[in-house]
A = this chain, B = another copy of it.
Amino acid sequence: MSTKNVSRESILAAATRLFHLQGYHGTGLNQILKESGAPKGSLYYHFPEGKEQLAIEAVQAMAIYIENDIKTYLRYDVDVMTAFQEHIRHIAEQFNNTDELDGVPIGLMAAETSLISEPLRKACQAAFEGWELLYAKRLIEAGYDPASAQKLGIVINSMIEGAITRSLTNKNGEPLQLIAEYIPILLKK
């Protein structure tokens, strides 16, 4: 069981990194196997439904990774505006050392696959909604009414995903820094 998990986990780790950087269609199974060091046969043993199953699990893995990041930054013992700003600036930092991109969220996968695979679309939707729920909870805790907090969660998540695309295109984190700068205006009661 331990060897099985090592092989499976290494394939999933490589898939998670590559899918989110290069996209679903831009990443070949051969590349995932080469990076993970596993042979092709074991991919279809561990992921019998092939590429689609691997992508769904990669989205779920990325969802948990980002959820932990959100929980780290949105602690209840810091000011809510500062917390959101530091969360966003933490994402922005990745775009300055442009080679070591990692943990880029699922926007690319979501846009690519929403029209072609219902299971993948639902996995992306669940990831987005999970993050938005964490945002909303933190806002409610800070005194916003639940209806507004839910809306703001979706708005903030959309802003972040869009600014990531914009930062990728600019090859720097400035768009994300700008989003962080305007958080206080958006959250002003």
Give me the interface of A with B, judged by CB distance under 8 Å. 21-26, 101, 107-108, 110-112, 114-116, 121, 124-125, 128, 151-152, 154-155, 157-166, 168-171, 174-175, 178-179, 181-182, 185-186, 188
Contact = CB atoms under 8 A, between A and B. Distances in A.
29 contacts: A22-B112, A22-B115, A23-B23, A23-B25, A23-B111, A23-B112, A25-B25, A26-B112, A107-B162, A107-B165, A110-B165, A110-B166, A110-B168, A111-B165, A111-B168, A124-B169, A125-B170, A151-B182, A154-B174, A154-B175, A155-B182, A158-B163, A158-B165, A158-B179, A159-B159, A161-B161, A162-B165, A185-B186, A186-B186
A161 B151 contact: no
B21 A115 contact: yes
